[in-house]
Amino acid sequence: MQTLNIPIELLVYALSNRKVNPLRLFLYLKSQGSGYVSWDAEQKEKILSGLDLKSPKTIEANLTWLLGNGWVSMNTKRASIHVVSYLVLAKKFDFKCATGAVCELQNLKNFRPFIYAAVVTYYLQYKYRIARQSARKKGRTTTNCRYRDLPADYLAKVLNLGKSTIVRYRQKAWDAGFIKMKHRYKPLLLPIEELEFCRIYGDEEAWQLVIHNNQVKIQLSNAITSYIHLRTKPSLKKHIHSWKKVDPLYEGF
């Protein structure tokens, strides 16, 4: 089965800047050749089918953005499109990370849940890596658990998106089967009959109080595990190191 190893920072860019649809077209074009793709009625029909689109206008709108931002160029004489390399975009956007997310071509049809899950997966590992390096400096050890914590607030800040948007994205990734989440609770010595009073007169965190198993508890951020495969892109890593000194935290996993 054909797969794409997409630079994770390209996915982050698309998500943060709401350019998921242009990226999806870019990736489909990239999967069709070694840089050059014919541009005719047959190709447009293939794109409509391959991306499960209903209108050619959607293709044209996304292609216009790609052309305007230098991700592709048009050769009208040869009726073909040149798709730039990941390295060109890496230099354009100053990538610091060589990690890619492996995407099956069929996932481009339902791309949003995949991109949500891939970005969550990367930051799960990134956050864990920082914690592990910090623990080593202090002479401590960290447990490599299958489920890891990634608060919605953390991801919202990194991606410059609203918390409610992040919660919605995570749910879509879970519904699509790319990630799995577990609810976490911390017991609290509070009578159930006092819960409503705390919610009314308490601070914002009071809304984290819930009744679970007939006991008042604090609902913590969900623990997440992912089924997305991250893989280093050797060519990208080589070029990033040739451009600048890279922070080890940003290197490919």
- Determine if the pTM surpasses 0.85: no
In the chain, domain spans: 3-109+228-250, 184-225
Core vs surface per residue 5-26: b (16+ CB within 10 A) or e: bbbbbbbbbbbeeebbbbbbbb
Q: What is the mean pLDDT of the chain?
A: 85
Question: What is the amino acid identity at position 22?
Answer: P
* Structure token digits, residue 153: 């607030």
Phi, psi (degrees; rounded to nearest 5) at 134: -65, -40
Other CB atoms within 10 A of residue 69 CB = 13
- pLDDT of 245 > 90? The answer is no
pLDDT in tens, 176-193: 999 998 877 677 777 777
* Structure token digits, residue 25: 């077209």
CB 218 within 8 A of CB 188: yes
DSSP 3-state of 146: coil
Element (H, E) at 130: helix 111-137
pLDDT in tens, 60-101: 999 999 999 999 999 988 889 999 999 999 999 999 999 999
When pLDDT is cut at 50, 70 and 90, the band that residue 162 belongs to is very high
